[in-house]
Amino acid sequence: MKIKIGTRGSKLALWQAYHVQDLLKKQGVDSEIITIETKGDKILDVTIAKIGSKGVFTEEIEEQLKDGRIDIAVHSAKDMQSTLPEGFELIAFGEREKSHDVLVSHKTIDLDQKDLVLGTSSTRRLAFLNKYYPHVKTVPVRGNLQTRIKKMKDGVCDALWLAYAGAHRMEYDDMIVHEFDPSTFVPAVGQGSIAIEVCESLDQDKKDIVRLAVNHEPSEKCLIAERSFLKKMDGGCSIPVFGLATIENDVLTLYGGIISLDGKTVVEKSCCSTTNAAKKVGETLGEYILENGGREILEDIRKHQAD
């Protein structure tokens, strides 16, 4: 058996693909890595929200899953839309890295500095900035991590606001100058984990061996809860929805919500369940957020993005 692994071509995406390849090798399975350029990789002069959040980093990869050129796709879980196109499924989630956000820079950063400029195009991060550090200016900085760091050093911004997982996996730990508290600056759904996507028609033996090699059950339970919440909110990566699930003593706690773009309105809540009810707790949290002001925030955001 040989597994054909599809991935985007950035160094971080390839790190994830090679990690999956190593896990498969431990199960005695050969694999081949195939790189694929996506819409999100090609269009770098506008924000993700302007491109459209659904399938920005997955559409071209899914085409190759469908026609059999690849067997599995390795994604950052946070890039995956809440509802997959018909005929596709996620069969495994890798063990989660720390999920919090960080600032990466080549110089000392003070968040109280009046002329500070941060590089980010994430609506969630922009909204949190407006709430906690409204004086900070931002610029959208797209491209792979190495490209963004070069742009920062060239003077586009003072620091980059990134997920810890990506900075750590690319060995930029020495450039981390600030770590955000995830209980305040709650991460994006799925942040820190990898997701394996397949076409439902893929041979079951291949699905089983990939799941055996890659899936980390506690991470999977957390991501099922988070993605269920995101689906209920009908959110993509252009909507400032946040969510983080944790497990302790077989109790799953999901904390999540939505924040208005100006940072002035936040609807958030924590829900608990057993790990076997992960999907249900996500739906319950989503219903609460929508019914308690979240729907109005969503409508306002979509009007703003349509302008």
What are the structural domains, with CATH classification, of the chain? 1-93+194-215 (3.40.190.10), 101-179 (3.40.190.10), 217-307 (3.30.160.40)
Residue 52, pLDDT above cutoff 60: no
Query: Are 175 and 167 a contacting pair, CB within 8 Å?
Result: yes
pLDDT band at 66; cut points 50, 70, 90: very high
Residue 42, pLDDT above cutoff 60: no
Percentage of residues of the chain with pLDDT beyond 70: 92
Residue 142: its pLDDT value, please?
Answer: 80
Q: Across residues 263-275, what is the average pLDDT?
A: 97
Q: What is the pTM of this model?
A: 0.91
User: Within 13 A of 21's CA, how many CA atoms are on the CB side?
Assistant: 15
Residue 21: its pLDDT value, please?
Answer: 98
DSSP annotation of 108: -
Q: Across residues 211-233, what is the average pLDDT?
A: 97
Q: Give the chain's mean pLDDT.
A: 92
Q: Across residues 54-80, what is the average pLDDT?
A: 88
Percentage of residues of the chain with pLDDT beyond 90: 84
Query: Are 245 and 223 a contacting pair, CB within 8 Å?
Result: yes
Active site residues: 79
Mean pLDDT is lowest, of 14-23, 141-150, 277-286, for 141-150
**Residue from 189, 198, 199 nearest 222 by CA:** 189
Residue 251, pLDDT above cutoff 60: yes
Q: Which two tokens stand for residue 147?
A: 């490209």
Residue 41: its pLDDT value, please?
Answer: 55
Question: In 3-state terms, what secondary structure has residue 226?
Answer: helix
Residue 306: its pLDDT value, please?
Answer: 67
Tokens 């796709």 appear where?
Answer: 73
**Cα(168)–Cα(108) distance, integer angstroms:** 19
Residue 188, pLDDT above cutoff 80: yes
For the chain, helix, strand, coil in percent to 5 are: 40, 25, 35
The residue with greater pLDDT, 144 or 287, is 287
**Residue from 270, 261, 297, 272 nearest 124 by CA:** 261
Residue 46, pLDDT above cutoff 50: no
